[in-house]
A and B are shown apart, each in its own frame.
Chain A
Amino acid sequence: MNAFYVINILVYAAVDAMACLGLNQQFGVAGVTNFGFIIFQAAGGYAAAILALPHDTANGGFQSYIGGWNLPFPLPWLGAAVAGGLVALPFAFLFGRRLRGDFAAVGLLVTAVLLNLLVTNYRPLLNGDAGLSLIPTPLRGQNMFSVESLGYEWVFTAGIIVLAVCVFAFLRRLTESPYGRSLRAMRDNDVVADSLGKNLLSMRTAMLVTGGAVAGLSGGILVTYITTWSPAEWGYAETVVLFAAVIIGGAGNQWGAVLGAVLVPVGFEEVTRYIPTSNNLPPNLIPSLEWVAIGVLIIGFLWFRPQGVLPERKRVIAVAAPAARRATGWQSDATPPLSVPETREVGGDGRQQNASGTSPRPVPQPTAGEGERARGDSGSPGSLTSAGVVLEAVGLSREFGGVRAVNDVSFTVRQGTLTGLIGPNGAGKSTLLAMLAGTLPVSSGKVVYLGQDVTSVPAFRRARMGLVRTFQLASEFKRLTVMENLVSSVQRNRGDSFFGAMGGRRYWGADEAAAVVRASALLERFGLADHANSYAGDLSGGQRRLVEIMRALMAEPRMLLLDEPMAGVHPHLARRIGNELVALCAEGMTILMVEHELAIMDEFCDPVVVMAEGAVLAEGTMQQLRGRQEVVEAYLVG
């Protein structure tokens, strides 16, 4: 076996592995499906070329291109990475739009083809169809007649492999961090990640630029190895090959990306050498069959093994031991369920019946540790009013195209209460909840939280102030474990940023450990500690509801807005959830809960607010409300 042959394979393997790692970072980890990926590699290749080449009048002037500054190594490679990253920037704005996945894919593919067309036809730019050639090799200057020595080639190859390993390590550090977890959360459910306060635009931009720089570097390296670069090297077919490599190797797994690079671009190239050539066969038969084989592999893997040869690894996080938890002041034994409250006497009409200001259950004084927790580490102080009001709706209204979904609603929620919000279909409950949470803007009126007007504060910032909502539909991150789901919703973790991740475990380890401790306590309390390291998508519906609630609790809220937490849940589990919510309120939490299951209201909620046709109808315990004619009418008339 020829030494040059081995070097050839190694160089291509390293370059393709880099490109695949970059694509995997965007597509497999962050869920940014970028069908224009090849453009970044092309940009890097051209950048390295025009930086390294002399002015285009040199070498007989048969090429025509911009640039040509004859810069020494390693500037062309640096330029290649920078070019790849810069070209990726505008793409960031394409991905925010709510365009169907397939439409977006078409747009990106077409962009790649369009750029290829422009470069091919506009010769003065980058020498058009013929491409650039005679690109100087690093540290040797350019001499097209000298064959590099074997020693040089080995050093070059070793250097490239080292670079590839560095890229691997860099991306690994980025991904195996709280930031990487947020990327994967964005991939699994970007809407929910957004509501938890993750900055989607910033993450997508960072991944596009990072992947772009890596792709650009791979292009730059390739260019200086093969000393030419033309549009033929980067047609749309190359993007398909790279996607095939990442899918087959295993999307979301860095070793999978490397394996895919070895199997697909490199493997196919090499396999043809071993097929006996015959003059009887048409010359394009083997290459054509290669493409057919790639197509068959893509479809075969997508059908039989979409996770690839090396699927994404599960990140297992050990549940913190009880001793560690006790040290931080958390109770580890579950609070026993409280009994059903007695009916209260009430006078006058149902509204504002909490005039006495006391809630129906005894509120035990929180211990020092829990008191800290209940206040949370939210930045803004905020405080209860003297009557203990946490949240107040003042004349809230919401209009949709002439229809008033919510009509001048006012009520208050006191600390330590588990308040229910009920009403027939179309009453406006979910709309009201969304306005209180900040996920829907108000048409008029105010939302006052802890004495502060938060009407124009966005949802994720309200969450940071301690006002947290849950969602109706399944909103867990399916390909994150339960523990990861919980830990990812912590508001402050030093590792949850690009540069924080680069700091490594030494930098963010403490924050992470603290989050794990809190998550472990919640898991124990809600009885899901055994499932801590199961994928959230594998749990039953009721268990996923618990995860949703625990995740909201991880944000250290002072008040929870729950949107139908028991919907579709088995009655037995619904009762457990109800008990837990009551226990939380006993510890100082405030909860406002929309529910249809009126039996739950009966057992756990006091007070209960009834809405109908966008307005508040009445307020009281379920027992009282059932005795009120207008409430019965609202439900029966519909």
Chain B
Amino acid sequence: MSADVTLRGLPLRAEGITAGYGGDPVIRDITVSADPGQVVSLVGPNGSGKSTLLKSLVGIVRVSSGTVTVGGRQVTNMAPEEIARAGVGYVPQVDDVFGPLTVRENLEMGGYLLRRGEVAGRIDKVLTVFPRLAGMVGRGAAKLSGGERKMLAMGRVLMLDPGLFLLDEPTANLAPAIAIALLEEHVRGLAAGGAAVLIVEQRAKAVLAISDHTYVLGGGEVRMEGTPAELSVSPEFVESFLGGRARPVGSAEG
């Protein structure tokens, strides 16, 4: 990973995002941003729209209003493959590897946009980050354990060395010790390498420990935001995380 922080990373600016799956919007008027070298986290209970937000940033879910810019470039509602080509690496929560393909082939697909000569070299680099995968390059991805799959999913997105990482609950279904390790070593490491990282997580405590900035989502909206330091001393943080808030449901509408 190169050392020049400012050139490598791609800042993310998502403003006023309203999106849904066709009927009523799931997320309303959400504004988040992430700068190169930062780990920005999105926490909140299930159903708060965290996954939907990420999907709308990579073109899987349609944005009905709002704008998304990556590295200064407007990418709102672009096709997912074009957003990937713009330097955005997305790891979904489920269906995160190509089951029928081998580990090596999964990585090759991750490096699809690379020139032919570069692929082997990048695969070697990724395997040094996840040495466990090196021993199973010929194995079918569907045969991997949960933790190994996650590593492969991360490895796949590392192939292109994107400037912006969007990670959807990368520690889901992992044992707590491995989860902490993944967050502290690998996720933090991505930002250290200069990229911008936006990560959605259920394990709020663990992800706060590695974040530079955190948004708390609830009911499709941003309820609170701040640095982990600010949030951890704020009584409202626990309140808003567990649903209580300054304004009761719907009172804005009277």
A425 CB-CB contact with B under 8 Å: yes
A24-32, A499-507, A591-599: which lies at the B interface? A591-599
A289 CB-CB contact with B under 8 Å: no
Q: When the two chains form their complex, are residues B244 and A602 in contact, meaning their CB atoms are under 8 A apart?
A: yes
Given pairs A424-B46, A635-B242, 7 additional interface contacts (CB within 8 A): A425-B46, A540-B23, A574-B250, A600-B243, A626-B242, A637-B176, A637-B204
A586-629 Cβ-contact flags toward B at 8 Å (1 or 0): 00000000001111111100000000000000000011011000
A626-B219 in contact given A424-B46, A540-B23, A636-B204 (Cβ < 8 Å): no
B81 CB-CB contact with A under 8 Å: no
Residues of A within 8 A of B241 (CB): 635-636
- Least Cβ–Cβ distance between A594 and chain B, in angstroms: 10
With beta carbons under 8 angstroms apart, the residue of A571, A622, A632 that contacts B249 is A571
Q: Can you pick out 22 interface pairs between chain A and chain B where the beta carbons lie within 8 Å of each other? A: A340-B248, A425-B46, A568-B24, A571-B249, A575-B249, A597-B47, A597-B219, A598-B45, A598-B218, A598-B244, A602-B243, A602-B244, A603-B249, A622-B242, A622-B244, A632-B242, A635-B242, A636-B238, A637-B204, A638-B201, A638-B204, A638-B205
Residues of A within 8 A of B192 (CB): none
A571-B203 in contact given A596-B46, A626-B242 (Cβ < 8 Å): no
B36-73 Cβ-contact flags toward A at 8 Å (1 or 0): 00000000011110000000000000000000000000
Q: When the two chains form their complex, are residues B23 and A598 in contact, meaning their CB atoms are under 8 A apart?
A: no
Q: When the two chains form their complex, are residues A596 and B47 in contact, meaning their CB atoms are under 8 A apart?
A: yes
Interface residues of A in 291-347 (CB under 8 A from B): 340
- Least Cβ–Cβ distance between B115 and chain A, in angstroms: 40
Q: When the two chains form their complex, are residues A424 and B45 in contact, meaning their CB atoms are under 8 A apart?
A: yes
Residues of A within 8 A of B238 (CB): 626, 632, 636
**Total A residues in contact with B, Cβ cutoff 8 Å:** 35
Residues of A within 8 A of B253 (CB): 571-572
* A597 to B249 Cα, complex, angstroms: 10
Q: When the two chains form their complex, are residues B219 and A599 in contact, meaning their CB atoms are under 8 A apart?
A: yes
B101 CB-CB contact with A under 8 Å: no
- Least Cβ–Cβ distance between B238 and chain A, in angstroms: 6
B210 CB-CB contact with A under 8 Å: no
* A571 to B245 Cα, complex, angstroms: 13
- Least Cβ–Cβ distance between A581 and chain B, in angstroms: 13
Interface residues of A in 536-550 (CB under 8 A from B): 540-542
B31 CB-CB contact with A under 8 Å: no
- Least Cβ–Cβ distance between B103 and chain A, in angstroms: 24
Minimum CB distance partner of B245 in chain A: A599
- Least Cβ–Cβ distance between A546 and chain B, in angstroms: 13
Q: When the two chains form their complex, are residues B244 and A571 in contact, meaning their CB atoms are under 8 A apart?
A: no
Residues of A within 8 A of B202 (CB): 424-425, 638
Residues of B within 8 A of A568 (CB): 20, 23-24, 26, 47, 220
B192-216 Cβ-contact flags toward A at 8 Å (1 or 0): 0000000001111110000000000
B124 CB-CB contact with A under 8 Å: no
Residues of B within 8 A of A578 (CB): 249
A370 CB-CB contact with B under 8 Å: no
A598-B249 in contact given A425-B202, A541-B23, A638-B206 (Cβ < 8 Å): no
Q: When the two chains form their complex, are residues B242 and A598 in contact, meaning their CB atoms are under 8 A apart?
A: yes
* A631 to B46 Cα, complex, angstroms: 15
Residues of B within 8 A of A454 (CB): none
- Least Cβ–Cβ distance between A244 and chain B, in angstroms: 31
* A603 to B176 Cα, complex, angstroms: 33
Residues of B within 8 A of A570 (CB): 24
Q: When the two chains form their complex, are residues B239 and A603 in contact, meaning their CB atoms are under 8 A apart?
A: no
Residues of B within 8 A of A541 (CB): 23-24
Bin chain B's interface residue count: 20 to 34
Q: When the two chains form their complex, are residues A597 and B244 in contact, meaning their CB atoms are under 8 A apart?
A: no
* A569 to B204 Cα, complex, angstroms: 25
Residues of B within 8 A of A625 (CB): 242
A408 CB-CB contact with B under 8 Å: no
A194 CB-CB contact with B under 8 Å: no
- Least Cβ–Cβ distance between B37 and chain A, in angstroms: 25
A637-B205 in contact given A424-B46, A574-B249, A599-B249 (Cβ < 8 Å): yes
* A540 to B24 Cα, complex, angstroms: 7
* A5 to B201 Cα, complex, angstroms: 76
Leading 9 A-B pairs by shortest Cβ distance: A598-B243, A638-B202, A638-B203, A596-B47, A541-B24, A575-B250, A571-B250, A636-B204, A572-B250
Residues of A within 8 A of B24 (CB): 540-542, 568-570
Minimum CB distance partner of B171 in chain A: A638
Minimum CB distance partner of A632 in chain B: B238
- Least Cβ–Cβ distance between B254 and chain A, in angstroms: 9
Minimum CB distance partner of B28 in chain A: A570
Residues of B within 8 A of A635 (CB): 45, 204, 241-242
* A340 to B250 Cα, complex, angstroms: 14
A580 CB-CB contact with B under 8 Å: no
Interface residues of A in 520-546 (CB under 8 A from B): 540-542
A567 CB-CB contact with B under 8 Å: yes
A564 CB-CB contact with B under 8 Å: yes
Q: When the two chains form their complex, are residues B205 and A636 in contact, meaning their CB atoms are under 8 A apart?
A: yes
* A567 to B244 Cα, complex, angstroms: 17
* A602 to B218 Cα, complex, angstroms: 14
Q: When the two chains form their complex, are residues B218 and A599 in contact, meaning their CB atoms are under 8 A apart?
A: yes
* A246 to B223 Cα, complex, angstroms: 53
Residues of B within 8 A of A542 (CB): 24
Residues of A within 8 A of B176 (CB): 637
- Least Cβ–Cβ distance between B52 and chain A, in angstroms: 10
- Least Cβ–Cβ distance between B247 and chain A, in angstroms: 9
- Least Cβ–Cβ distance between A475 and chain B, in angstroms: 14
Minimum CB distance partner of B179 in chain A: A638
- Least Cβ–Cβ distance between A372 and chain B, in angstroms: 34
* A599 to B242 Cα, complex, angstroms: 8
- Least Cβ–Cβ distance between B42 and chain A, in angstroms: 13
* A285 to B9 Cα, complex, angstroms: 67
Q: When the two chains form their complex, are residues A599 and B23 in contact, meaning their CB atoms are under 8 A apart?
A: no
Interface residues of B in 70-108 (CB under 8 A from A): none
- Least Cβ–Cβ distance between B232 and chain A, in angstroms: 10
* A256 to B202 Cα, complex, angstroms: 54
Residues of B within 8 A of A572 (CB): 250, 253
Q: When the two chains form their complex, are residues B47 and A626 in contact, meaning their CB atoms are under 8 A apart?
A: no
Minimum CB distance partner of B202 in chain A: A638
Residues of A within 8 A of B219 (CB): 571, 597, 599
- Least Cβ–Cβ distance between B57 and chain A, in angstroms: 19
Minimum CB distance partner of B26 in chain A: A568
Residues of B within 8 A of A599 (CB): 218-219, 243-245, 248-249
* A578 to B249 Cα, complex, angstroms: 10
* A333 to B250 Cα, complex, angstroms: 23
B173-193 Cβ-contact flags toward A at 8 Å (1 or 0): 000100000000000000000
* A449 to B19 Cα, complex, angstroms: 42
- Least Cβ–Cβ distance between A242 and chain B, in angstroms: 34
- Least Cβ–Cβ distance between A495 and chain B, in angstroms: 33
Which residue, B202, B203, B218, has most C-beta atoms of chain A within 10 A? B202
* A38 to B26 Cα, complex, angstroms: 47
Residues of A within 8 A of B46 (CB): 424-425, 596
